[in-house]
Structure 1
């Protein structure tokens, strides 16, 4: 049983993705979904990924999107958008 557990953990490690790789993949996905729609695509993509990773429970492989709040301000540019943690 112990050997099975070790083999299983080794297999999981071999197929798992590091956080930096995951962030890179998420950033590419965000940029693709915003492609040609928004001038500030790079800036907003980075903010989206940072917001998701800041609330993600990596151990449970879960993201509670209700923990992310988006507020709009009239008269502001998309390039003024920022992430406020807390």
Structure 2
């Protein structure tokens, strides 16, 4: 059997319709994404940058105490901080 004409008798080309819809979709106006940073977040960023030297020093001290085995975890303080989250 030989088929010469594929566009006869109302044959549909789904791939062509999809590509046409993509081309027409490109021409439509696109919405742009927008990010807004709150004042609280900006304040947190500036505070973290200001105290970064102090934080680095504290982290190095903690690393050293963990390495030497002198770091002690106070379970009561951890429990006090976790308790409000567990009550929610």
Higher relative contact order (CA 8 A, sep 6+): 1
Asked if these proteins are the same fold (TM beyond 0.5), I'd say no
Higher CA-based Rg: 2
TM range (shorter): under 0.3
Q: Which has the higher helix share?
A: 2
Q: Which has the higher strand share?
A: 1
